[in-house]
Amino acid sequence: MHVKFCGFTQLSDIHTAVQLGVDAVGLVFYPPSPRAVTLTQAKTLSAAVPAFVNVVALVVNMPEDELVDLANHVPFDLIQFHGDETPEQCEQLASMVNKRWIKALRINADQHTTASVRAQIDQFAAAGASSILLDAYHQHKYGGTGARFDWSLIPKDSALPIILAGGLDAENVAATLELPIYAVDVSGGIEQDKGKKDTAKMRAFMKAVKRDRWQNETLSVPSNLSS
């Protein structure tokens, strides 16, 4: 199982997440979010991420010129489209900046069925998405709500690898290991405050997911990440 920690604003939290073995870190470029970062902040944070750990840029209905400006100033690996973008819009925008991309779908048990979720995934797969992210629906928010959706709506035969988000923490993430998913994505479940991570919660989350890594409880901290 792969792990993405999202919503970083603090350099020390990036260092901790990398040392704990996270697979990807997410930076939020959506000003209404309390976890949003500026281009200047993002350059500093992304510079601290070593090779083989992906930097994911989360955007919400971002205009073309802003996405191009973002790509010109911040080194990131993937775009996470988290708004109302259509498959065609995602494909076009990602092509403009030559980036791989994933799309977040907000799942609502009152509106969705397993079949309808699968059909949406098929559309984004056809447009070239690398993965799909399933998050809980909220009428007024695009994510970061800390709410879970009905996991029975996750299709077992998805055309894309599924990333699960929404209401995850160290206490419940072990229950996701049997789900037909590729990765988990967490933000609020590892925080002490919006945008500020909690080292103990991050460590507990990683231990619950990547159990083999934690057979030896003592992890050494590389000297360049210990400050």
Known catalytic residues are 6, 135
Q: Alpha carbon 200 to chain centroid distance?
A: 20
Nearest in space to 77 (alpha carbons), one of 130, 33, 19 = 130
Q: How far apart are CA 78 and CA 29, in angstroms?
A: 13
Q: At 41, phi and psi to the nearest 5? A: -60, -45
Residue 195's identity, in one-letter code, is G
Residue 118's identity, in one-letter code, is R
DSSP, collapsed to helix, strand or coil, labels residue 137 as coil
The residue ranges of DSSP E strands in the chain, in sequence order, are 2-6, 24-29, 54-59, 78-81, 100-107, 131-136, 162-164, 183-186, 191-193, 196-197
